[in-house]
Chains A and B, each alone.
Chain A
Amino acid sequence: MSPSVPLQEMIRAIRSARTQCEERGVIQRECAAIRAQFRNTDNEGRSHNLAKLLYVHMLGYPAHFGQMECVRMIASPRYSDKRVGYLGAMMLLDEKQDASLLITNSIKNDLSHSNQYVQSLALCTLACMGSAEMCRDLAPEIDRLLRSSNSYIKKKAALCAVHIVRKVRELGELFVPSARSLLSEKNHGVLHGAVVLITQLCEQSPETLERFRKTVPDLVQIMKGLVISGYSPDHDVAGVSDPFLQVRILRLLRILGRHNEAASDAMNDLLAQVATNTDSTKTVGNAVLYETVLTVLDIKSESGLRVLAVNILGRFLLNNDRNIRYIAMTSLQKIVVTDHIAVQRHRGTIVDCLKDQDASVKRRALELSLALVSASNIRSTMKELLIFLSSCPPELRAHAASGIFNAAERYAPSQRWHIDTILHVLTTAGADVRDETVPNLIQLITNTSELHCYTVHKLYRALLTDISQQPLVQVACWCIGEYGDLLLKGECQETEAVQVTEDDVLDALEIVLQSHMSTPTTRGFALTATMKLSTRIIDNVDRIRSVVSIYGSCIDVELQQRAVEYNALFKKYDHMRAAVLERMPVIQKNSVGQTNGEVGEETVKESQAAKVAQKEMALPPQPAGQVCDLLDLLGGSQEPLQPSSSLGGAASTQPTTAGGDLLDLLGGLEPTPPTPAPAVTVYEKNGVTLTISCEQQSDSGLTVTLTASNSSDSDISGFTLQAAVPKSVQLQMRAPSRDSLPANGAAKLTQLVILNNPNKVNLKMRIRVSYTSQGSAVQDMVQVDSFPGIGAAGL
């Protein structure tokens, strides 16, 4: 072993550089020297130069100019050159470089070299960076080497074959026979290589897997030999005989036994033996046990064996070694769904691991604990989870909080416990909970009417202590607004009541409103709560009024809008304030997890108030639009009654264009009088009879039904009615049921007239009748001065 002095000198020089800049200088000089030396082909120290370059490359500097040198070195007959050349090839050349193809020939030659160490270099390089073309070229060569008698070469050829099969799947077929025969080797290295090769072939092709299932008995034999046999100095690691080979065989057995009863049966005994006999005091033994457990849980093993496996995992959980606890939890996590009962037995240990110092162990313990929560252990588990929440790392808080909420929702033993739990979470981890927590909690509180007093007291106390946790503050404000009267009453069954005055409550809300820690949403909650209290308290309504008016000029648009609307509620619509601000009804939940607009309930109230205000303002203009000075128009001339007919026409076009059953449409639209009102005949001529009947709808509303019939012998067509009423009365004519009257009273015609008489003037109506009978048009007019069904005193 001769150290390459120039190389070491260079390394020393580089390391003694004090700054990055100095180092770069040294390296640049060296690289220049190396490049010069590369050009000089006749140089015995070539390998040292390349080694220097490789060192420079490892420091992160570019070294691609060494690629051709690698190719040259590999082709050199000297072993030292080849060694460094192949090393350079593995470091600098990868399949993406063109130069890599140039070494294919060298590799091919070296694979048949007389010296096994040269062969080994070629095999190693091929297995490391062989491209698909190279693999295809050299696969037959590798297969030949798999059959050689030299175990040193055989084991390397096996791993080379693994690489080839990974790169070119179709070549797998080529290696199947050799792989099979290698299993009978005694040499551990070769055996290991064979197992890896078979594993790779089985993973890639299900048909190959089927064929290799026959090897299960052989594998079981080999394992048994390893486990039971005595101390073998060559392969012993801390009392376990060749753990690397054992683990590989177990992994292959796993693949072969998966989904296959027969194969799983064949390995049952062996697995039980390994599980019980392996020494678990050292990591090595635990590595083998771990692989055994994974295999047992993955194949179709019998239940006794599965319980044994889960128990091993349980033992791992108690191990002092953190790594072993970690992998135990990872494995338990994978099987918690399928083997739930078996895992439940270790729940206590898992929950204890929540206190572990390692963050990954904590994370897994949290997930497992949440998966293991059930109705029977909810109280104890939740206690632990809440303790965990107060001390858990920040990245786990959100996950823990949402997990706790889910568990609480599913398994809460009582409403009060549920509310307590949620409040606890909000106080400890309020900043990390999800957005829908607030409406969900509010909905939960409204549903638990018997606990309103208790809840509002608790929340008020929480609000006094800390106003930084926004979700908590929002819920507290909402509750105080809703149930402030309960708070002020001062007595409570469930908890010790606090004597609170109205000023205290308003103070608390004002602090929230003014605090810089409150988000705009929270301030919105607080403002609305203050407003709601105006109906629930007695003395300090003025104070509320002033608060609300101050915020009318707030910069935040949302707050400003609210304040202005509340102001309006105080001023103009004070009579509605009590109704608008009364207790909310129980909120119906549409579906789990859906925010069904509770957050928007605040704005719903505003829009209600706004809508109400709008309606009142809209009403006054309406009568003005609908006034028809009919009587004046009618009084002087014979002008057709345009307004009313147009109104009637407008109303009538819709149903007529719809076609079909006018009667049904009208019947649905009009409020038909339940009892037939008395009908009065107002017109009778030429067989045409017109009767009217009235029904009072409201204080000023009246519905008049006009009925026409034809008792003559000839049909009447084009029958229309027009009506006029005094100035202040509003009139609306609905479409007639028909426009013709068949002879001899075969069918009647009805038409509804809606009247509105707000000023309560004396009601009169003039009706014009026009129709066509026997080819000639007839027009007539009748005045109605009194309406049946209405008192003489008038509307």
Chain B
Amino acid sequence: MMRFMLLFSRQGRLRLQKWFTAISEREKKKIIREMTTMVLARPPRTCNFLRWKDLKIVYKRYASLYFCLGVEDEENELLALEIIHRYVELLDKYFGNVCELDIIFNFEKAYFILDEFLMGGEIQETSKQIVNRAIESSDMLQEPAPL
């Protein structure tokens, strides 16, 4: 299962954090700090997998954002890369040519999309179209914002 997913910029600013296990705030902050330090320190042409404590860390850089997944030992690292890629595709489809600013200003939407794709540390839906349709339908349910 996946333990957490973090998105952070090249300067180390957190853009999204999703935790799939129950851990304290202090522990979360510590992990965020360590992940950002570790991943940002990696030289350019190295492999995307790291070992950290008892977890495998899979990370990939898309433009100015680092996507970082912490997975348990039995997980398939190559598939984890695919999961990250699938999420980026979903964001891209939703926002249309997604960039970091989209995720900053619409962070709650990024969470909603993630919650349609992953759940409880596992993949929820393997079809891109179904996820997109679900998001669109949910959005339609949203009551209009007050003026």
List residues of A whose CB falls within 8 A of some B CB: 1-5, 8, 11-12, 15, 44-45, 48, 51, 54-55, 58-60, 78-80, 83-84, 87, 94-96, 115, 117, 120, 123-124, 127-129, 131, 152, 155-156, 159-160, 162-163, 188-189, 192-193, 196, 234-235, 237, 242-245, 247-248, 251, 283-284, 286-287, 290-291, 294, 322-327, 357-361
Give CA–CA (A421, B11) in the complex, Å: 47
B22 within 8 A of A: yes
Give CA–CA (A2, B106) in the complex, Å: 11
Interface contact A188-B126, CB-CB below 8 Å: yes
Interface contact A129-B126, CB-CB below 8 Å: no
Interface contact A326-B124, CB-CB below 8 Å: no
The 3 closest A-B pairs by CB, nearest first: A287-B78, A127-B120, A163-B120
Q: Which residues of chain A have C-beta atoms less than 8 A from B62's C-beta?
A: none
Which chain B residues in 1-51 approach chain A with CB under 8 Å? 14-17, 20, 22-24, 29, 45-50
Interface contact A79-B125, CB-CB below 8 Å: no
Give CA–CA (A323, B122) in the complex, Å: 22
Interface contact A357-B45, CB-CB below 8 Å: yes
Choose one: A51, A128, A287, A322; the contact of B45 (CB below 8 Å). Answer: A322
Interface contact B127-A322, CB-CB below 8 Å: no
Q: Which residues of chain A have C-beta atoms less than 8 A from B92's C-beta?
A: none
Of the listed residues B50, B82, B120, the one surrounded by the most CB atoms of chain A closer than 10 A to its CB is B120
Q: Which residues of chain B have C-beta atoms less than 8 A from A96's C-beta?
A: 22, 24
B64 within 8 A of A: no
Interface contact B22-A358, CB-CB below 8 Å: no
A324-B78, A327-B78 known; A235 vs B145 contact (CB < 8 Å)? no
A5-B145, A94-B22, A96-B24 known; A326 vs B78 contact (CB < 8 Å)? no
Interface contact A193-B47, CB-CB below 8 Å: no
Interface contact B119-A247, CB-CB below 8 Å: no
Interface contact A361-B47, CB-CB below 8 Å: yes
Interface contact A79-B78, CB-CB below 8 Å: no
| New A-B contacts (16) at CB < 8 Å, excluding given A84-B108, A323-B49 | A12-B105, A58-B15, A60-B29, A80-B143, A83-B138, A94-B22, A117-B137, A120-B134, A155-B125, A189-B124, A283-B81, A323-B47, A327-B49, A357-B46, A359-B46, A361-B47
Interface contact A83-B142, CB-CB below 8 Å: yes
B130 within 8 A of A: yes
Interface contact B107-A55, CB-CB below 8 Å: yes
Interface contact B82-A284, CB-CB below 8 Å: yes
Give CA–CA (A120, B19) in the complex, Å: 18
Interface contact B122-A251, CB-CB below 8 Å: no
B99 within 8 A of A: no
Which chain B residues in 97-147 approach chain A with CB under 8 Å? 104-109, 111-112, 115, 119-120, 122-127, 129-130, 134, 137-139, 141-146
Q: Report the minimal beta-carbon distance from B60 to chain A, rounded to whole angstroms.
A: 10
Q: Report the minimal beta-carbon distance from B82 to chain A, rounded to whole angstroms.
A: 6
List residues of B whose CB falls within 8 A of some A CB: 14-17, 20, 22-24, 29, 45-50, 74, 76-79, 81-83, 86, 104-109, 111-112, 115, 119-120, 122-127, 129-130, 134, 137-139, 141-146
Q: Which residues of chain A have C-beta atoms less than 8 A from B15's C-beta?
A: 58
Q: Name A82's closest neighbour in chain B (CB-CB).
A: B141
Interface contact B79-A247, CB-CB below 8 Å: yes
Q: Name A240's closest neighbour in chain B (CB-CB).
A: B82
Interface contact A234-B127, CB-CB below 8 Å: yes
Q: Name A64's closest neighbour in chain B (CB-CB).
A: B25
Give CA–CA (A22, B45) in the complex, Å: 38
Give CA–CA (A124, B116) in the complex, Å: 9
Choose one: B24, B79, B120; the contact of A159 (CB below 8 Å). Answer: B120
Q: Which residues of chain B have C-beta atoms less than 8 A from A324's C-beta?
A: 78
Give CA–CA (A188, B143) in the complex, Å: 31
Q: Which residues of chain B have C-beta atoms less than 8 A from A237's C-beta?
A: 82, 86
A159-B124, A242-B126, A358-B46 known; A327 vs B77 contact (CB < 8 Å)? yes
Q: Report the minimal beta-carbon distance from B116 to chain A, rounded to whole angstroms.
A: 8
Q: Which residues of chain A have C-beta atoms less than 8 A from B112's C-beta?
A: 83, 87
Q: Which residues of chain A have C-beta atoms less than 8 A from B74's C-beta?
A: 251
Interface contact B124-A156, CB-CB below 8 Å: yes
Interface contact B82-A243, CB-CB below 8 Å: yes
Q: Which residues of chain B have C-beta atoms less than 8 A from A193's C-beta?
A: 122, 124
A83-B112, A115-B141, A290-B76 known; A244 vs B126 contact (CB < 8 Å)? yes
Interface contact A235-B47, CB-CB below 8 Å: no
Choose one: A87, A291, A360; the contact of B79 (CB below 8 Å). Answer: A291
A1-B139, A11-B104, A78-B143 known; A188 vs B119 contact (CB < 8 Å)? no
Q: Name B142's closest neighbour in chain A (CB-CB).
A: A80
Give CA–CA (A244, B47) in the complex, Å: 22
Interface contact A3-B79, CB-CB below 8 Å: no
Q: Name A100's closest neighbour in chain B (CB-CB).
A: B22
A80-B143, A95-B22 known; A8 vs B105 contact (CB < 8 Å)? yes
Give CA–CA (A2, B123) in the complex, Å: 28
Q: Which residues of chain A have C-beta atoms less than 8 A from B49's C-beta?
A: 323, 326-327, 360
Interface contact B47-A326, CB-CB below 8 Å: yes
Interface contact A160-B120, CB-CB below 8 Å: yes
Q: Which residues of chain A have C-beta atoms less than 8 A from B46's C-beta?
A: 322, 357-360
A155-B124, A290-B76 known; A60 vs B137 contact (CB < 8 Å)? no
Q: Which residues of chain A have C-beta atoms less than 8 A from B143's C-beta?
A: 78-80
A80-B143, A94-B22 known; A189 vs B14 contact (CB < 8 Å)? no
Give CA–CA (A283, B130) in the complex, Å: 23
Q: Name A203's closest neighbour in chain B (CB-CB).
A: B74
Interface contact A117-B141, CB-CB below 8 Å: yes
Give CA–CA (A84, B145) in the complex, Å: 13
Interface contact A58-B119, CB-CB below 8 Å: no
Q: Which residues of chain A have C-beta atoms less than 8 A from B127's C-beta?
A: 188-189, 234-235
Q: Name B78's closest neighbour in chain A (CB-CB).
A: A287
Interface contact B108-A58, CB-CB below 8 Å: no
Q: Which residues of chain A have C-beta atoms less than 8 A from B50's C-beta?
A: 360
Give CA–CA (A245, B14) in the complex, Å: 31
Q: Give me 7 A-to-B residue pairs in the complex whose CB atoms sit less than 8 angstroms apart, sorted by A's number.
A: A58-B17, A162-B122, A244-B79, A287-B81, A291-B76, A324-B78, A359-B46
Give CA–CA (A329, B75) in the complex, Å: 16
